[in-house]
Structures are given as structure tokens and as C-alpha cells.
A and B are shown apart, each in its own frame.
Chain A
Amino acid sequence: MQPPVITLTECSKRFGERLALRKATLRVAGGETVVVLGPNGAGKSTLLRLVAGLLRPTAGSARIGDVEAISAPKDVRAGIAYAGHQPQLYRGLTASENLALHLRLHQTTADTQALLEQVGLGDRADERIDGFSRGMLQRLALARATAHQPVLLLLDEPASGLDADGRALLDDTLRAGIGQRTQLVASHDHELAARLGVREVRLDNGGIA
């Protein structure tokens, strides 16, 4: 599967009275990594959820390759990974069980223990995650998002809750993905794009500046 191209054209999203995203136009080439910067409430999460196909645009379009993201077929969804504000993990399952479930639903296999060791959770594999700290959940969410080798990785403020080691791990993961997959990262970290040597776009008040 070729890495997808993200194309947002005059894309708007309204929640009731509030316009969360205003005529955003953005193109991300296959294999490119883009950091989306902006203050709280700027529309970063909405933009990522539109690209993931988890929200339907109120106006305009959000496309992945040739298809509208909201109606992406299974083979396109198989290549997408999205990690948002919530860890998207079952609190009553162990770390290992959560990853195994994710892999099963993606009809793929991988060594869950190795995946957990990559994010520093190898010794917590059999613990239920309802006792995990925010940082540990964020590490596990990163492992989940990359476990099925996605061609499009969407991360929404992935550094929140991470300690210094965790942020270094995140940087390494993003750096390893440059040129290998398309990556769109919403962040408050103004240095992230410079550290990775990638493009950044700024969102403010729902519009791309």
C-alpha cells in the first residue's frame, strides 16, 4: 500500500454554535511529517479527527488518497493509526491484552512483549491498565498506534503526560517514521518540528494561519 496523501479542502467543522475548524486547506504528501501547532481550542484535535474519518466535515472535504476520510473503506482504515486525548484502551484489560486485541482486530500479528519493551513497559505487560499513570497510558497508546505498522500516523498531543524519557521515545518514534509513513502530529511543542526537521503549520481560532 502506498503512503496516503492527506488533502483538506476548505474544510470546516461546526459543533452547534461553535465553529471548531474554519475553511482549512492542507495537503500532506505521502511519507511527509507535519506538525500542527496551535493554542488550546485552535482546532487541532478536530482537524486530526476529520483526517481520521471520525468526524464528518460540515463543509468542504477531508480526503485520504482518493477517498473521503469519513467513508474510508476497510483497507484504507487498516493503514491508519490515530492516538487522541484518550488512550483508546480498555481499562479492565492488561497492557498485553489491549495490544493483542488491537492486533487481532487489525488481522495482524506481532510480539506484544517486544512492543511493550520498546515503550518501556515490558515489565508491566500483565498488569491491568486501570492502575497505570497518565504517562504509562500514553506510552501504551503509542505502542498501540504503531503496532500494526500504519502508513498514516495521527497523533494528538502525544507528549502530554510523558516524562523526559517518554518524550525522547516519542521523538525517536516520529524520527523513525519520517519518509516511511505519513505523520500528522498536533502539538504544543514549538521546538518539535525543528528537532525533527519537518514542516509545521499553525492553527489559530479554527483557521490555518
Chain B
Amino acid sequence: MIGAALTIARVKLVLEIRRREVIFAMLLFIAATIVIVHFALSGDTGAGTRAAAGMLWAAVVFTAVLGLLRTFSAEHEGGVLDALLLAPIDRAAIWLGTALAQFGFLVVIEVVAVPVWWALFFQQDGPSIGTVVVALLLADIGIALVGTLSAALALGARTRDVLLPVLVLPLLIPVVLGGVTATYGAFGEEVGGLQPLGFLALYDLVFIALAWGTSDHLLGD
């Protein structure tokens, strides 16, 4: 199953490298969002660590949704999903391979976006970067899992471009909550009883189990 999932993920990454349909748009969107918010705050680096943390996570989530809109587009346009469904592989492998590719896209855009965010909002006293990176990686797993699951749900709908954000954004509220809290905590601030990294990891585990159990139904008839 892992082999089939890796095969599917590799194909999607190859397609993206050749066509540059998703990552390029995501990069432009997140960079523009960070810059616009920076100017909206009049370049005021003292706007508060919470505002900076919230801005990063809002930008990540909305950028992820932009990428998720193209999640199964390569399979949809050529009828490839039929071939994948008929292949002698676990249907969970289709979902897992797609989620792995989505995870890869998110990591690539964050490698560019986080330094931009850092440079614009923190000239000197930024957060502990290690904590922020771990929070982003845990969040990326959750976003990829939930996003792929939602994209599979919306696959047959004529209005899937509208339906997908409606489905996925409420499900990503816990990711934003955990991410913002982790980032705020990375400034050395008191974050209360919530252990944000553990919370993000738990979120990932819940959706791994949920997607695993439902992928046969979601990707079938």
C-alpha cells in the first residue's frame, strides 16, 4: 500500500514540476498576502506577536485551500481516477498518495513564505524557529489529510470549487488554533494549558484514522 501511495505521490509531483499549475500560484498568493498585510499594518513591526502569528497561519490555510482546489484535477481531466480505482491497490493508497503530494506542495511554499514573513515582521526578536517549523509540519500533515478527504467528498459535485472551501475551512479551525498558539508560545509567551504541538499531532491522528476508514466509500461510486 505504501508503495502504491508513493508511486501516486511521485507522479503528482512530476506533473507539478512539469506544469507548474499549483505551487506557482500558491507561492504568489502567500507572498502577496504576507506583503499586503505588512503594508496594511503600515510596516508597524510592533503590531504584536499575536497579530503576526495569526497572519502567518491565516495565509497558510487560505493558500492551502487554493492548492486543494486542484487536488484531483489531473485525475479528473483524463478519467485517470477510473484507472486508479480499478488497479489492484488499496483505495486508501490513492488518498494517501494525493495527501503526500499536497504535503510536499505546502512544505515548498512555506520554505519560501516563512523567511519572507520573518523578514517583514521581525527585525530582531522573532520566535523560536524550531517550534514554528515543527508546528507548520504538523499542521501541513493535518491540512493535507483533511484537504484531500474534503476534495474526495467534493469530487463529484458540479460546484466543487465552491463546496471545497465550505467543507474544509471549518475543519481547519483547530489547525489555526493550534498553530497560532504554538507560534505565540515560541515567543516565550504563556499559552495556558493547551499543549499546541500535541494538539496538532492528535488532530493529525484523528484524521488519519477517519480518512483510512472512509477512503473506500469516498473514492468509490
Query: Which residues of A line the B interface, CB within 8 A?
Result: 52-56, 70, 74-75, 77-78, 80-82, 84-93, 101-102, 104-107, 128, 144
Q: Does any Cβ of A come within 8 Å of B14's Cβ?
A: yes
B71-101 CB contact bits vs A (8 Å, 1 = yes)?
0001001111011111111100000000000
A78, B86: Cα distance in complex, Å: 8
- CB–CB A89/B85 < 8 A: no
- Look across to chain A and name the residue whose beta carbon is closest to the beta carbon of B4: A105
B32-83 at interface with A (beta carbon < 8 Å)? 74, 77-80, 82-83
Q: Which residues of A contact B80 (CB under 8 A)?
A: 88-90
- Look across to chain B and name the residue whose beta carbon is closest to the beta carbon of A86: B79
- Look across to chain B and name the residue whose beta carbon is closest to the beta carbon of A72: B86
Query: Which residues of B line the A interface, CB within 8 A?
Result: 4, 7, 11, 14-15, 18-19, 74, 77-80, 82-90, 220-221
Q: Is the interface of B mostly helix, strand, loop or mixed?
A: helix
A88, B78: Cα distance in complex, Å: 5
6 sampled A-B residue pairs with Cβ under 8 A:
A82-B82, A89-B78, A91-B74, A91-B78, A104-B7, A144-B83
- CB–CB A80/B86 < 8 A: yes
- Look across to chain B and name the residue whose beta carbon is closest to the beta carbon of A54: B82
- CB–CB A70/B79 < 8 A: no
A52, B79: Cα distance in complex, Å: 14
Task: Apart from A93-B11, A106-B87, A106-B88, list 10 A-B contacts with CB within 8 A.
Answer: A70-B221, A75-B88, A82-B82, A86-B82, A87-B79, A88-B79, A88-B80, A90-B74, A92-B19, A101-B11
A61, B86: Cα distance in complex, Å: 19
Q: Which residues of B contact A90 (CB under 8 A)?
A: 11, 15, 74, 78, 80
Q: Is the interface of A mostly helix, strand, loop or mixed?
A: loop
| Candidate in A75, A86, A105 with the most chain B CB atoms within 10 angstroms | A105
- Look across to chain A and name the residue whose beta carbon is closest to the beta carbon of B76: A86
Q: Which residues of A contact B221 (CB under 8 A)?
A: 54-56, 70
Q: Which residues of B contact A89 (CB under 8 A)?
A: 78, 80, 83
A106, B3: Cα distance in complex, Å: 12
- Look across to chain B and name the residue whose beta carbon is closest to the beta carbon of A154: B86
Q: Which residues of A contact B15 (CB under 8 A)?
A: 90, 92-93
Q: Which 8 A-B pairs have the closest CB atoms?
A: A86-B79, A78-B88, A88-B83, A56-B221, A105-B87, A74-B88, A92-B15, A88-B79
B155 CB, min distance to chain A CBs, angstroms? 13
Q: Which residues of A contact B89 (CB under 8 A)?
A: 74, 105
- CB–CB A85/B79 < 8 A: yes
- Look across to chain A and name the residue whose beta carbon is closest to the beta carbon of B93: A105
Q: Which residues of B contact A56 (CB under 8 A)?
A: 220-221
A75, B83: Cα distance in complex, Å: 15
Give which listed residue, B11, B18, B78, B85, contacts A86 with CB less than 8 A.
Answer: B78
Q: Which residues of B contact A86 (CB under 8 A)?
A: 78-79, 82
- CB–CB A84/B79 < 8 A: yes
- CB–CB A105/B7 < 8 A: yes
- CB–CB A77/B87 < 8 A: yes
B123 CB, min distance to chain A CBs, angstroms? 43
